[in-house]
Amino acid sequence: MRRLSAPGIMVPLLLILIGSALIAAGGLRLDTPVAGLPDISDIPEASLGLPTPAPSASGSEGASSAPTPSPTPPPANWVAVQIQIKAVGLNVLVKQSHSLANDGYPLEDAAYILSTSSQPGRGTNSYMVAHAYRYLFKPLWNVVPGDEVKILMSDGRVLHYIVTEIHPNQSCPQREGASNPSPPPALKLAEPGCQAAQWQRPTGHERLTLQTSQGYNRNWGEFMIIAQPLF
């Protein structure tokens, strides 16, 4: 596992808060959904992909080649509203966090894109977290490489991804005030610093990163899924 060359304090601290929150909640009530959550329909199979590029008329006069498409940036209000991994029965609403407080303790009604992370479809890393409840992200524990991830966007477009990496035991060791039976694998395998922090970083390509917890405190580690665009 690649170590962080110069880990800052905010990202590891944020991951500790997220991990502790997901663990504390997910470990206690894995099977009890929040009252009043709506039933969620399956995401359509058809893929509409990213917004259609607008053709560019640039080029020298009389050129015989076709105009080169110029990418059209997606509008700011183009956001993810649902994620589905049918292979493991995961079908969850998606919301954007708007505060570091919610990043550190996400609500239990949806999966949340961190306030500091990007929406899907922007050509970089989109980092999404949810508690380890059965009705949220606990099914991630059963994902295998090759599983398809579908993201429904606010205009009805469907973005398709494929799981390419699975990284269990990603830790930011919590040495004080934490019970460490055995100890858990994430603590035994942990490298110095915050091993999990690297997955929040922006990337130069489209990527989806999904995080949930593995156990009863931060030392049990985080479970990370990496998915790349399918089309």
Return the structure tokens found at 230.
């399918």
Instruction: Please indicate, yes or no, if residue 156 is contained in any of the structural domains.
Output: yes
Give the model confidence (pLDDT) of 57-92 as tens digits: 444 444 445 555 555 667 778 999 999 999 999 999
Instruction: Please indicate, yes or no, if residue 59 is contained in any of the structural domains.
Output: no
Instruction: Please indicate, yes or no, if residue 217 is contained in any of the structural domains.
Output: yes
Domain region containing 160 = 77-231
Model-level pTM greater than 0.75?
A: no
Name the nearest CA neighbour of 81 among 90, 71, 92, 73: 92
Instruction: Please indicate, yes or no, if residue 53 is contained in any of the structural domains.
Output: no
pLDDT-derived band at 1, boundaries 50, 70, 90: very low
Return the structure tokens found at 117.
């992370």
Is the pLDDT score of 50 beyond 60? Answer: no
Is the pLDDT score of 206 beyond 50? Answer: yes
Mean pLDDT of the chain: 76
Instruction: Please indicate, yes or no, if residue 111 is contained in any of the structural domains.
Output: yes
pLDDT-derived band at 137, boundaries 50, 70, 90: very high
Strands in 56-193 per DSSP E: 69-70, 80-85, 90-96, 111-113, 125-129, 148-153, 158-170
Give me the CATH number covering residue 196.
2.40.260.10
* Contact present, 193 and 4 (Cβ < 8 Å): yes
**First and final C-alpha spacing in the chain:** 28
**How many domains, the chain?**
1
Is the pLDDT score of 13 beyond 90? Answer: no
Structure confidence at residue 48 (pLDDT): 52
What's the whole-number mean pLDDT along residues 15-44?
59
Contacts of 36 (CB under 8 A, 6+ apart): none
Greater model confidence, 200 or 215: 200
Is the pLDDT score of 178 beyond 80? Answer: no
Structure confidence at residue 43 (pLDDT): 92
Instruction: Please indicate, yes or no, if residue 4 is contained in any of the structural domains.
Output: no
Instruction: Please indicate, yes or no, if residue 36 is contained in any of the structural domains.
Output: no
Instruction: Please indicate, yes or no, if residue 173 is contained in any of the structural domains.
Output: yes
Return the structure tokens found at 194.
């915050």
Is the pLDDT score of 2 beyond 50? Answer: no
